Amino acid sequence: MSTHEIIAIDGPAASGKSTVGRLLAKELDYRFLDTGAMYRALTVACMRDGIDWADSGAVIACCRAAKITLVPGPQADRVLLDGEDVTHRVREPEVTARIHRLADQAAVRQLMVVKQREVAHAAPTVAVGRDMGTIVFQDARFKFYLDASEEVRATRRRAELEAAGESVDRQAMIEAIRRRDMQDMGRAIAPLKVADNAEVVDTSQLTIPQVVALLAEKIRGTID
């Protein structure tokens, strides 16, 4: 399997990359790999085991022992941690707020990189995350960086939460997005940035189907 069958999509929180990636994978009949869900599941494992975040050896040992399974589904993947369904748990704000405690650690990222490459080299894959084009799949033939303004991303995230019955103050949402951006872009190892040769797509003014169509067109245009 050569790496040209990997489509790497990176971008900040709420840029639409997971929704777009899932639909694009469906359209191309590729596998979908949501690497954010993997970091989320590891965070749940450390919280479950009461790991002290300051003890990096314990964090790494817990991550190494955790068995994460992503079960593909039509609307969303189910996330299993050691056989337990943590699909909803991984999205809880207290989990989101702690992910950087392990995502900042080189040894944890190295574990994830190995797993992500295993998955993607087994079948054509659309992989989404923060370091797909820069680190994990540097040789991917197609690299996209989805972006959108802070305001648009905060509005989208609020709409998602409202649909789930939660209400969040708009300003608080913008600040949460800003904090995530700083953590994702500011970390020493594998920071979020535009990969060499990646195409930047600003989705602020586009609908999800428009972004999917645009990416599919670019991929098919290059293949044909």
Q: Which residues of this protein are in contact with ligand DC, per CB under 6 A?
A: 13, 35-36, 39-40, 99, 103, 129-131, 180, 184
Shortest CB 153 distance to ligand DC, Å: 11
Shortest CB 180 distance to ligand DC, Å: 5
Q: Name the residue with tokens 């820069």.
A: 134
Shortest CB 48 distance to ligand DC, Å: 17
Contact 154, 177 (CB under 8 A): yes
Q: Name the residue with tokens 């650690």.
A: 105
Q: Closest CB to ligand DC among 139 and 217?
A: 139
Q: Closest CB to ligand DC among 136 and 212?
A: 136
Q: Closest CB to ligand DC among 29 and 197?
A: 197
Q: Closest CB to ligand DC among 129 and 143?
A: 129
Shortest CB 18 distance to ligand DC, Å: 6
Shortest CB 103 distance to ligand DC, Å: 4
Q: Closest CB to ligand DC among 112 and 224?
A: 112
Q: d(Cα 133, Cα 118) in Å, to the nearest integer?
A: 16
